[in-house]
Amino acid sequence: MTTTIATYTGVYGMPEAGSAIDLAWLIPVVPAVSAAVLLLIGKRLGRYAAHVAILAIGFSAVASTIAFTELLALPEEARSVISPVATWLEVGDFEVAWSILIDPLAAVMLLLVTWVGLLIHVYSIGYMEGDERYSRFFAYLNLFAASMLVLVLGDSFLTLFVGWELVGLSSYLLIGFWFEKRAYATAAKKAFVVNRIGDVGFMIAMFLVFSATGSLAFAEVLPMAPEIASGTAVAIGLLLLVAAAGKSAQIPLFVWLPDAMAGPTPVSALIHAATMVTAGVYLVARVSPIYATVPGVGLTVAWIGVATALLAALIACTQNDIKKILAYSTVSQLGYMFIGVGLGAQVAGVFHLLTHGFFKALLFLAAGSVMHAMADETNPWKMGGLRKVMPITFATSLLGWLAIAGLPPFSGFFSKEEILVAALDPPGAQGIWVIGTIVAGLTAFYMSRWFFLIFLGPKRYEQELPGVHPHESPPSMTLPLVLLAVGSAAGGLLNATPASLLRFWDPETSFLSSFLAPSVVPYYGDTPFIPHVPAVAIVTAVAVAGVAAAWALYLREGVDHVALRERLGGFYQLSYQRFYVDELYEATLERGGRGLANAFTTFDRVVVDGAVNGIGRGVAGLATVGRRVQTGYVRSYALAVAAGTVLLAAIFLGGLLNGQG
């Protein structure tokens, strides 16, 4: 067996002048300009607004593809290319160039973001038809794509962070797009706030990186990773994990994602499938040289991932909203990706990111198509039997369902198995494999439930929704579905060449593994493991069992669901009420924050006042002049000044007693 896989070298080249890589800065700029144009004069463009937006993202997609082929033409060790655009900040010894980093990792992300983004743009033509803010919607879509592209192309922590924040901001705009409904605005705020918590982690990590290495550029920081003191590296790794957990909706920061469902369906597809939520996975993979020096932190990432996967899968089993189910399934699948990148199997993680990008976008768009037909109904119990009425949506959803359920030979099978296989070797990770296998069964179960309730069985909608006459969606919506279905079905081939169909996990023979290898530093060696084939068989069997269970519960006649729920009792409630996490956060964090604020206010307004009233008349002269006023007493303010002076003097004297510095 030949092992000629290139490894991470830490060498970054320059692009050839005039090549697509050299001009790659246009990839985010064109959609950004288009967004600006649409915001300014979009209303006057009318329906042509969509064409402008699609042209812009189409340009990015084509440019990304050309850049990708150029990258393929380069020798393996020279595939990390930095293309300087402009000097952004130059202050003394602190210099941040605005450069673009294209390497295999960025290239596959580019392809995913631009092509899936393009399909979602096309789909939106039909979906947003007749909306009064048609052009505004496309402007936001463009803006979002541009932000994500800035993130992916960033060559330093700082430029990546700019994209990171812009993505958060534009997702805030997109989720809140239909802001007439209050819940949407609240969901948008929640998404923003949770993401800010993650951003704090990112910022502090960034400062740590800077103080440890004196630079923020990946080309300088990552090669120096082994020299970073291990304590600092642990801190950086954990802080970046917080950041990634915020963006990628992992425990404990996953609460925003299901609520973000409130946005229009194409937005759900764009955010939950192709772009924003994958940013955290991308970040962890991007800084893999740092995680490689502290594998224990990587193991933490993986455990967080598997815990999230389990929790979200359990919740997804009982939800009665076709978009909510998909949202929790996204959280769960992101957990799988975290297992992959956390265990040092970054290729597997990114592979799953890609296949998930296909099938989750497909499923969301299919859900949108169903809602389009059902007058925006989201309860699957009111659907059923849509197979005949919506044949294209049905057929494409079938492929998406098979892919996410992890049944061979569809794409999800390959990527999921590759991740789980990676959990077999490292010490302390076998538990991850066990839980991950259970999650695979749960995934197959809830996705089958989703699929069966919508498309198979009796036509419940005839009684439940009397006025609704479902119909297939227009071609602009079904075409993206078909293309994504092809990706969902065949995406597994990305990392499985004909020669390797039986040994698809072997990095030597697969395309993605050898292509991505120069970008990432795997840890936990890739020693061949003995029970791989049995392990794969077990996982697949569990998945099949999940499908069978769903069939038994939801397709057989005569199952009394109400009785079943009652028999499950607390377990059902726990899952249905989403383990009360939202309530828990509300009770602790929100109220706690309010309480803190109230305490401060009380201090400002009452304690000081009361103290003045109690202590007496020291500043009474002021008080008589100030008199009672609208909001507070001058004397209490004066007392605060006096108290502050004493406090300051005390600090000074304390420092003095502690020895002079």
Partner 1 sequence: MPVIPLTAQVQWSIPDIPWGAISPELVLFGTGILVLLLETAGPHRLRASALAFLAAAGGAAAGYGLTGEVTWPALLALAGLAQLALTATWRERPRVLSALLSALGIVATLGVVAWQWQTLAGGELLATQSGLADMVAVDGVALFTRVTVLLAALVSIPLGWSYLETRRIHRAEYYPLLLFAAVGMNLLASSQDLLMVFISLEVLSLALYILTGFAKRDLTSQEGALKYFLLGAFSSAILLYGIALSYGIAGTTNIPAVGAAVAAADTPAALAVIAMALLIVGFAFKTALVPFHMWTPDVYQGAPTPVTGFMAAATKAAAFAAFLRIFVGAMGASQWSWIPALWTLAAITMLVGAVLAVVQDDLKRMLGYSAVAHAGYAAIGLIAATREGVSGTLFYLLVYAVMSVGAFGVLSMLERRQRRAVSISDLAGFGKRFPVPAGMLSLFLLSLAGIPGTAGFMGKLAVFRAGVFAGQWVLVVIAVLSSMIAAFFYIRVIRAMFMDDEPDDLETFELEPTPGLSAGLAASAAIIVVLGVWPTVVIDLAEQAAAFAG
The residues, ordered by sequence, that sit 6+ positions from 69 with a Cβ below 8 Å of its Cβ are: none
Q: Nearer Cβ to partner 1, position 189 or 503?
A: 189
Q: Is 579 exposed, middle or buried (0-12, 13-18, 19+ CB in 10 A)?
A: middle
Show the tokens assigned to 603: 């201090």
Least separation in angstroms between CB 293 and partner 1: 21
Dihedrals φ, ψ of 407, to 5°? Answer: -95, 135
Q: Which of 72, 229, 537, 649 binds partner 1 (CB under 8 A)?
A: 649
Q: Is 424 exposed, middle or buried (0-12, 13-18, 19+ CB in 10 A)?
A: middle
CB 391 within 8 A of CB 379: no
Residue recorded with tokens 């010894």: 93
Contact region with partner 1 (CB under 8 A), list: 85-93, 117-125, 463-471, 567-575:
85-93
Q: Any idea how long the chain is?
A: 661
Q: Nearer Cβ to partner 1, position 9 or 87?
A: 87
Q: Which of 2, 4, 463, 660 binds partner 1 (CB under 8 A)?
A: 660
**Dist. CA 38–CA 45, nearest whole Å:** 8
Least separation in angstroms between CB 528 and partner 1: 45
Dihedrals φ, ψ of 224, to 5°? Answer: -85, 0
The three state secondary structure string of 422-485 is HCCCCCCCHHHHHHHHHHHHHHHHHHHHHHHHHHCCCCCHHHHCCCCCCCCCCHHHHHHHHHHH
Contact region with partner 1 (CB under 8 A), list: 162-170, 357-365, 486-494, 511-519:
162-170
Task: By CB under 8 A, tell whether 131 contacts partner 1.
Answer: no
Q: Which of residues 195-224 bind partner 1 (CB under 8 A)?
A: 196-197, 199-200, 203-204, 207, 210-211
Least separation in angstroms between CB 203 and partner 1: 5
Show the tokens assigned to 386: 């849509």
Least separation in angstroms between CB 92 and partner 1: 6
Task: By CB under 8 A, tell whether 229 contacts partner 1.
Answer: no
Task: By CB under 8 A, tell whether 92 contacts partner 1.
Answer: yes
Q: Nearer Cβ to partner 1, position 187 or 481?
A: 187
Going from the C-alpha of 356 to that of each of 359, 360, 484, the distances in angstroms are: 5, 5, 11
Task: By CB under 8 A, tell whether 120 contacts partner 1.
Answer: no
**Dist. CA 360–CA 403, nearest whole Å:** 9
Task: By CB under 8 A, tell whether 568 contacts partner 1.
Answer: no
**Dist. CA 337–CA 326, nearest whole Å:** 16
Least separation in angstroms between CB 648 and partner 1: 4
Q: Which of 137, 144, 184, 452 binds partner 1 (CB under 8 A)?
A: 184
Least separation in angstroms between CB 59 and partner 1: 22
Binding mask 402-421 for partner 1 (x = CB under 8 A): --------------------
Task: By CB under 8 A, tell whether 430 contacts partner 1.
Answer: no
Least separation in angstroms between CB 598 and partner 1: 7
Looking at this protein, which amino acid is placed at residue 479?
L
**Dist. CA 210–CA 208, nearest whole Å:** 5
Binding mask 587-626 for partner 1 (x = CB under 8 A): ------xx-xxx-xx--x---x-------------x--xx
Give the SS3 label for residue 618: coil
Beta strands in 180-325 (DSSP E): none
User: Could you say which DSSP state residue 587 is in?
Assistant: I
Task: By CB under 8 A, tell whether 325 contacts partner 1.
Answer: no
Least separation in angstroms between CB 216 and partner 1: 10
Residues binding partner 1: number (CB under 8 A): 68
**Dist. CA 423–CA 434, nearest whole Å:** 9
CB atoms within 10 A of CB 385: 17
Task: By CB under 8 A, tell whether 552 contacts partner 1.
Answer: no
Q: Which of 427, 498, 558, 661 binds partner 1 (CB under 8 A)?
A: 661
Contact region with partner 1 (CB under 8 A), list: 336-344, 363-371, 509-517, 631-639:
631-639
Task: By CB under 8 A, tell whether 527 contacts partner 1.
Answer: no
Contact region with partner 1 (CB under 8 A), list: 2-10, 20-28, 83-91, 540-548:
83-91
Task: By CB under 8 A, tell whether 176 contacts partner 1.
Answer: yes
Q: Nearer Cβ to partner 1, position 47 or 196?
A: 196
**Sign of CA pseudo-dihedral 304, 306, 282, 221:** positive
Least separation in angstroms between CB 580 and partner 1: 24
Q: Nearer Cβ to partner 1, position 193 or 533?
A: 193
Least separation in angstroms between CB 118 and partner 1: 25
**Dist. CA 77–CA 11, nearest whole Å:** 8
**Dist. CA 107–CA 93, nearest whole Å:** 31
Give the SS3 label for residue 156: strand
Q: Nearer Cβ to partner 1, position 125 or 194?
A: 194
**Dist. CA 563–CA 569, nearest whole Å:** 10
Contact region with partner 1 (CB under 8 A), list: 51-59, 181-189, 299-307, 549-557:
181-189
Task: By CB under 8 A, tell whether 463 contacts partner 1.
Answer: no
Residue recorded with tokens 């704090």: 200
Dihedrals φ, ψ of 375, to 5°? Answer: 55, 50
Q: Which of 111, 162, 465, 568 binds partner 1 (CB under 8 A)?
A: 162
CB 68 within 8 A of CB 112: no
Element (H, E) at 97: strand 94-102
Start-to-end C-alpha separation, the chain: 65
Least separation in angstroms between CB 155 and partner 1: 15
Contact region with partner 1 (CB under 8 A), list: 168-176, 308-316, 331-339, 391-399:
168-176
Task: By CB under 8 A, tell whether 655 contacts partner 1.
Answer: yes
Residue recorded with tokens 């071609």: 475
Task: By CB under 8 A, tell whether 165 contacts partner 1.
Answer: yes
Show the tokens assigned to 37: 């144009």
Q: Which of 43, 51, 189, 565 binds partner 1 (CB under 8 A)?
A: 189
Give the SS3 label for residue 530: coil
Which residues contact partner 1 (rule: CB under 8 A)? 87-92, 94, 161-162, 165-166, 169, 172, 176, 179-180, 182, 184-185, 188-189, 192-193, 196-197, 199-200, 203-204, 207, 210-211, 593-594, 596-598, 600-601, 604, 608, 622, 625-626, 629-632, 634, 636-638, 640-641, 643-645, 647-649, 651-656, 660-661
